[in-house]
């Protein structure tokens, strides 16, 4: 049974860097055709896709965040991470990690597994 | 970016009655492989979204068959044949055809 668990600071100061991790149990981060995803949700912006990492390190990001975001994988800890620099109040949100199965240009199976989410507040 | 417009934004349905939600993308979600890259999710209070339908019409594992998805291109519909009390929450459509993946604004279902 695949389980995802987000962790990170609940409070970050403006201009600082946010680092969140998603610990994966029940699957390998190098499984073929698995995309590991970050999505966030805020009252003002709704659900917002941040980016995916797949094939052990290939990434795709929302261009609205691309200059500030990095998603990486640490197979030794079986987790993947989100790094968001120069945060502002607009980055206050619940952050979810998730998994989808994507056979690029062939098939796709939806974002079927989600973590419970972690709340991040950006405030001084 | 592809904009997804849901309607209605809220609806109240009596148990046992049907419900329908539409999602209109600003451009076609039909991939050259013949699949429409449109999902439906339900977010219950205090929980993450849960996948109901993927590729417009495929029910996810464990989803009751009272939920069905249809549509192609630029118009999609989620139907609940007989609403149950546990179906309360906010329903979202999401497109995964083109980066950035985007979500609709959500439809709140109340009993």
For residue A104, is pLDDT > 90? no
Query: Which residues fall within 8 angstroms of residue A67, CB to CB, at 6 or more apart?
Result: none
Q: Which of B39, B33, B19 is nearest to B88 (CA)?
A: B19
B49:A47 CB<8 A: yes
For residue A64, is pLDDT > 90? yes
Q: How many CB pairs under 8 A join A and B?
A: 63
Contacts of A54 in chain B (CB under 8 A): none
Dihedral class, residue A26 (left if φ above 0, else alpha if ψ from -120 to 50, else beta):
left
**pLDDT over 70, % of chain A:** 100
B55-106 confidence digits (pLDDT tens) = 999 999 999 999 999 999 999 999 999 999 999 999 999 999 999 999 999 9
Closest Cβ–Cβ partner in A108, A115, A117 for B96: A108
B3-15 confidence digits (pLDDT tens) = 999 999 999 999 9
B66 Cβ under 8 Å from any chain A Cβ: no
């Amino acid at each position: 049974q695949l389980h995802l668990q987000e962790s990170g600071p609940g409070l970050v100061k403006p201009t600082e860097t946010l680092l969140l991790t998603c610990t994966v149990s029940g699957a390998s981060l190098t499984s073929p055709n698995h995309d590991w995803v970050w999505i966030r949700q805020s009252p003002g912006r709704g659900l917002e896709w941040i980016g995916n990492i797949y094939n052990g390190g290939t990434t795709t990001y929302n261009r609205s965040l691309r200059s500030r975001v990095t998603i990486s994988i640490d197979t030794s800890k079986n987790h993947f991470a989100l790094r968001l620099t120069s945060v502002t109040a607009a980055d206050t949100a619940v952050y979810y990690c998730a998994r989808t199965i994507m056979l690029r240009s062939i098939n796709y199976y939806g974002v079927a597994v989600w973590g419970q989410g972690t709340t991040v507040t950006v405030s001084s | 970016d592809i904009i997804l417009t849901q309607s209605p934004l809220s609806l109240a349905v009596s148990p046992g009655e049907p419900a329908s939600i539409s999602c209109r993308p600003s451009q076609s979600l039909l991939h050259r492989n013949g699949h429409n890259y449109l999902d439906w999710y339900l977010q219950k209070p205090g929980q993450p979204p849960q996948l109901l339908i993927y590729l417009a019409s495929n029910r996810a594992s464990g989803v009751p068959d009272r939920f069905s998805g249809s549509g192609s291109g630029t118009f999609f519909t989620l139907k609940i044949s007989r609403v149950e009390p546990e179906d309360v929450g906010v329903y979202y459509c999401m497109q995964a055809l083109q980066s950035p993946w985007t979500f609709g604004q959500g439809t709140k279902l109340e009993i």
